Amino acid sequence: MAGGFAKDGAVQDQIDATIEDAVKRARSRLPEGKSRSRCEGCDAVIPEARRKVMAGVRLCVKCQAEHDKKDMSMGGFNRRGSKDSQLR
């Protein structure tokens, strides 16, 4: 039950919107096109199995893991806070 200026279900709406934004962001980051045979980061050979499983692969597993770790440290803020939650 929401109180104050928020309508009933506002919290769930915020949660749903945040998840939808995260899914859209993740989908937009998926690689597309033809996969590279060598890593852009370290020039190591990218195994054929990895290239077949995921289209548009540009990094080896090690470089991709480092890239993902950097991306995770930059996110995580919920910018959809309601006025009710900010006043508490």
In the chain, what are the domain boundaries?
A: 10-73
- Is the model's pLDDT at 14 over the cut of 70? yes
Global pTM value: 0.54
pLDDT score recorded for residue 30: 82
- Is the model's pLDDT at 17 over the cut of 90? yes
Judged on CB neighbours under 10 Å (0-12, 13-18, 19+), 11 is: middle
End-to-end CA distance of the chain: 16
